[in-house]
Chains A and B, each alone.
Chain A
């Protein structure tokens, strides 16, 4: 067996400070799933082709299968498990559940993280912009249309809530 060097890093994960030790060669995806037990983030290829493993690193969508975990030192990482506000679902989560945007649900965490990055940057994104932002996420179930509708529904809800505040 080849000897594996290990690395210890600290970063903010879903709002909480964490420190974790892992094999240096591991990707962020592997460390999240295998060393931090956050299995909400999925893998469909581990080659950066499907978008299932997308998470947010400092607010930007990143394919966690292509990022070495050591690069996460000092960053803020958000996974699907960190989208809800305590027991309250994020508007995107509500809308994905209600609009049929999650069928098998396997690509859903990646879509949610990618869509959140879009709406954080562009709260009034139109369908073309939504489509372009999500073009790197593959879904085999929905035909994408209900995903668009969910993002639009969430955007409208977020705008309404923002206006109230």
Chain B
């Protein structure tokens, strides 16, 4: 993997490979697909939040001319779910519903209008059960259980991890800061609503087209839930009109149209309405947090004790991973010598939460970064200096056993501080005007797959022929982030071509090597490394033939500028096409493969599998705001952001990822919230979305989006392709705490809860005016019966990554998904510091 800067394609600004089709309206999204004799599916969704299904009467629907099929839970006996530990969903619910919007029946008809009409004619009789609206209620209400699995009562998962003597470290500190925060839930809101088409292909096999970020996981869920041999299933991920994590679960509607197509022998399409997308959800978990932090007089942190309480909604989804993620990355940003994390996820009768951009980490990031701001103020330090004095060093292992490789966080902070004039402005701007700073860390791909296996996380296959054609096959799904462009650019870079010379076949589980999906910012690094390996292998084969032809040693063969030539005499060479012909003549039909698997995790304790990554990105940001003194209206004036990306693949797309993350982070900070309301008892007391529409679920428009000053720190990471690290999620993370910290600087009150709305600022100001604590936010954290913490010695204490009170490697969790990858050669951390 070359970290050389002599790059011709990588790092150059260029039109993305799918750009032309997108501006012409040629790109076929899932709902754009049309097949002859296509039927339409509509789901009958629960109007009840928690109820036993007593009866379903579909006779009226079935009597309608053009209605072809009605299915219910009886047609789907096998459960599925994204995590092996949470196989708790059925394509159509069986027995009871757990939320408004749960799919109860499916109607398939000759037109969409008819399907809608017939779905309305399906009568469902329910027997209501007690509903649970939030985690506090869930903790107090063990019965009735929403699910019959999970830790106990309505607690889905409670975890506790302890690294070092954290209590002694905190109590021995000069100051102890105890703060509560609440981060509100919110949703992805992709402009494209989910859609899928089930078909039986010309070979008589199931083929499902879907707007999914994870075609491989949908493939697995289809094979399992429909009991079909996996090799007879094919999933084609259509380009997604935005994902942001919202299309990473296998969904009930995908399995339903798959089954319907098999039953009816005709294509069956489903296109969700915007309201249904809100109920699919899998968005940001609402999280209540308590942070207890010990600090020395000089600002050095001695330990952090973090508790999180997650509102999981009605299903498991990625929730166990989300829970661990709320505690995974604190020590990766700052060198905390001791750390305790306890996290609890409860079930509630609301749409399930899951992974949204930043998966489980923006919530504690908000708490940690706002608390650091409070500590700095209390100690009379500049918040930038407080952070700079305790950054996690490069090539180190953290207290919680995360291996950190490269880090450019120091430079990120220095850049945004300088460019924004943070030191000159902080505490010195006129009243109503304020500036805030925050930092963050994110993974470049999860170190472990969703389900335990010893296989590569991604594969790339290259095919060459005598026309000079290069076709790259990879299972990666293009969700708008530019993964297709990365694939083409990587292959082109290695082979001395342009992206136009490479044809792509991606996201098709029937014909492409498996890639686990577009989540956890994994694709550029993992697919990129696999593509480099495949292209290097092709280079060796073709280079061998060219060296023979030119009568030069193989190591003098250079691939550049669409030619293959002698390094010592560039005029001596052949065109790319002739080189492929020589290669094909020598070796026969030319094809190569590449694959990638991340290095093993350092931690050997239960839960140590969530958080490790081949490389971490780092971000620092500064936000300047103005708060209107009368209305408390919050106006973000400008954002400065610096992101440690390792190596930019395409500056146009990389900047788009940063600005898009800034936008989404600001939007969450200022207005986005998944708010629910309870209908009156005569309407079932259902918990329904308050704002299931694009108009009323507020998000930033052009009018609120501020100017953004973006800087990339490019220190190539040895684990990244050409040194590249992630950029799609990390830059979102500092935004919410930046805004809260800037509001404090502007008006002197703390809003310890997202979104930071004018109303909350006004309430905090009211408290201040009346001599009470100048803040708005939660005041307590409930008492939770935590499991005994896994006690893990830190690397600084000479630990070995195992928990002293745990039998190594045999927990249920590990056995079913979150297992540590076996050691593989080549992955080592150098210069581990204590």
Contact A131 B191 (CB under 8 A): no
Residues of B within 8 A of A146 (CB): 652, 655-656, 659
Q: Is the interface of B mostly helix, strand, loop or mixed?
A: loop
Residues of B within 8 A of A100 (CB): 16, 652-653, 655-656
Contact B482 A103 (CB under 8 A): yes
Residues of A within 8 A of B274 (CB): 44-47, 49
Q: Tell me if A18 counts as interface (CB < 8 A to partner B).
A: no
Interface string of A23-37 (1 = CB under 8 A from B): 100000000010001
Residues of A within 8 A of B661 (CB): 143
A1-31, CB < 8 A from B: 1-2, 4, 23
Binds B, one of A56-64, A66-74, A132-140: A132-140
Contact B20 A39 (CB under 8 A): no
Interface string of B211-238 (1 = CB under 8 A from A): 0000000000000000000000000000
Cβ-defined partner of A131 (8 Å) among B65, B664, B702: B702
Q: Tell me if B263 counts as interface (CB < 8 A to partner A).
A: no
Cβ-defined partner of A143 (8 Å) among B18, B22, B32, B660: B660
Cβ-defined partner of A97 (8 Å) among B15, B479, B693: B15
Q: Tell me if B559 counts as interface (CB < 8 A to partner A).
A: no
Distance between A49 CB and nearest chain B CB, rounded to angstroms: 4
Residues of A within 8 A of B113 (CB): 4, 23
Q: Tell me if B239 counts as interface (CB < 8 A to partner A).
A: yes
Binds A, one of B240-248, B490-498, B779-787: B240-248
Contact A135 B190 (CB under 8 A): no
Distance between A23 CB and nearest chain B CB, rounded to angstroms: 8
Residues of A within 8 A of B34 (CB): 37, 39
Q: Tell me if B694 counts as interface (CB < 8 A to partner A).
A: yes
Q: Is the interface of A mostly helix, strand, loop or mixed?
A: loop
Contact A2 B663 (CB under 8 A): no
Cβ-defined partner of A93 (8 Å) among B24, B243, B708: B24
Contact B694 A102 (CB under 8 A): no
Distance between A67 CB and nearest chain B CB, rounded to angstroms: 18
Contact B25 A80 (CB under 8 A): yes
Contact B24 A84 (CB under 8 A): yes
Distance between A47 CB and nearest chain B CB, rounded to angstroms: 6
A39, B653: Cα distance in complex, Å = 26
A71, B221: Cα distance in complex, Å = 45
A97, B19: Cα distance in complex, Å = 5
Interface centre among A4, A37, A142 (most CB of B within 10 A): A142
Q: Tell me if B273 counts as interface (CB < 8 A to partner A).
A: yes
Interface centre among B25, B65, B239, B662 (most CB of A within 10 A): B25
Residues of A within 8 A of B242 (CB): 103-104, 106, 140-141
Contact A143 B23 (CB under 8 A): no
Q: Tell me if B66 counts as interface (CB < 8 A to partner A).
A: yes
Distance between A64 CB and nearest chain B CB, rounded to angstroms: 13
Cβ-defined partner of B25 (8 Å) among A40, A103, A143: A40
Contact A1 B663 (CB under 8 A): no
Residues of A within 8 A of B705 (CB): 143-145
Interface string of B49-68 (1 = CB under 8 A from A): 00000000000000011100
Distance between B442 CB and nearest chain A CB, rounded to angstroms: 17
Interface string of B191-223 (1 = CB under 8 A from A): 111000000000000000000000000000000
Q: Kindly report which residue of chain A lies nearest to residue B28, judged by CB atoms.
A: A39
Contact B23 A102 (CB under 8 A): yes
Q: Tell me if B27 counts as interface (CB < 8 A to partner A).
A: yes
Interface centre among B24, B64, B482, B653 (most CB of A within 10 A): B24
Q: Tell me if B699 counts as interface (CB < 8 A to partner A).
A: yes
Contact B32 A39 (CB under 8 A): yes
Distance between B36 CB and nearest chain A CB, rounded to angstroms: 13
Residues of B within 8 A of A159 (CB): none
Contact B26 A42 (CB under 8 A): no
Q: Kindly report which residue of chain B lies nearest to residue A112, judged by CB atoms.
A: B23
Residues of B within 8 A of A92 (CB): 23
Distance between A65 CB and nearest chain B CB, rounded to angstroms: 11
Residues of B within 8 A of A135 (CB): 701-703
Q: Tell me if B165 counts as interface (CB < 8 A to partner A).
A: no
Contact B191 A142 (CB under 8 A): no
Residues of A within 8 A of B664 (CB): 140, 143
A49, B699: Cα distance in complex, Å = 12
Contact B19 A138 (CB under 8 A): no
B616-661, CB < 8 A from A: 652-653, 655-656, 659-661
Contact A103 B699 (CB under 8 A): no
A94, B656: Cα distance in complex, Å = 17
Residues of A within 8 A of B29 (CB): 39, 42, 106
Known: A47-B693, A106-B242, A144-B663. A42 touches B192 (CB 8 A): yes
A131, B704: Cα distance in complex, Å = 10
Contact A47 B695 (CB under 8 A): yes
Q: Tell me if A120 counts as interface (CB < 8 A to partner B).
A: no
Residues of B within 8 A of A158 (CB): none
A40, B663: Cα distance in complex, Å = 26
Residues of A within 8 A of B25 (CB): 38-41, 79-81, 109
Known: A42-B192, A44-B274, A44-B694. A142 touches B659 (CB 8 A): yes
Contact A89 B660 (CB under 8 A): no
A1, B660: Cα distance in complex, Å = 45
Residues of A within 8 A of B656 (CB): 100, 103, 141-143, 146
Interface centre among B21, B22, B273 (most CB of A within 10 A): B22
Q: Kindly report which residue of chain B lies nearest to residue A33, judged by CB atoms.
A: B32
A79-131, CB < 8 A from B: 79-81, 84, 89, 92-94, 96-100, 102-109, 112, 130-131
Q: Tell me if A77 counts as interface (CB < 8 A to partner B).
A: no
Q: Kindly report which residue of chain B lies nearest to residue A25, judged by CB atoms.
A: B113
Known: A138-B699, A140-B190. A97 touches B694 (CB 8 A): no
Q: Kindly report which residue of chain B lies nearest to residue A148, judged by CB atoms.
A: B702
Q: Tell me if A52 counts as interface (CB < 8 A to partner B).
A: yes
Residues of B within 8 A of A107 (CB): 191, 241
Contact A97 B244 (CB under 8 A): no
A97, B17: Cα distance in complex, Å = 9
Residues of B within 8 A of A23 (CB): 113
Distance between A110 CB and nearest chain B CB, rounded to angstroms: 9
Contact B695 A49 (CB under 8 A): yes
A140, B660: Cα distance in complex, Å = 7
Contact A98 B693 (CB under 8 A): no
Distance between B635 CB and nearest chain A CB, rounded to angstroms: 14
Closest 9 CB pairs of A and B: A40-B25, A104-B480, A106-B241, A105-B22, A143-B663, A97-B19, A143-B659, A80-B25, A39-B32
Given A131-B703, A140-B242, A142-B656, 11 extra CB contacts under 8 A: A2-B117, A4-B113, A41-B25, A42-B191, A49-B694, A97-B15, A97-B19, A97-B20, A106-B480, A140-B188, A146-B652
8 contacts between A and B (CB under 8 A): A33-B32, A37-B34, A39-B29, A39-B32, A45-B695, A99-B652, A132-B703, A140-B190
Chain A residues packing against B (C-beta within 8 Å): 1-2, 4, 23, 33, 37-47, 49-50, 52, 79-81, 84, 89, 92-94, 96-100, 102-109, 112, 130-132, 134-148
Chain B residues packing against A (C-beta within 8 Å): 15-16, 18-29, 31-32, 34, 64-66, 113-114, 117, 188-193, 239-244, 273-274, 479-482, 652-653, 655-656, 659-664, 693-695, 699, 701-703, 705, 707-708
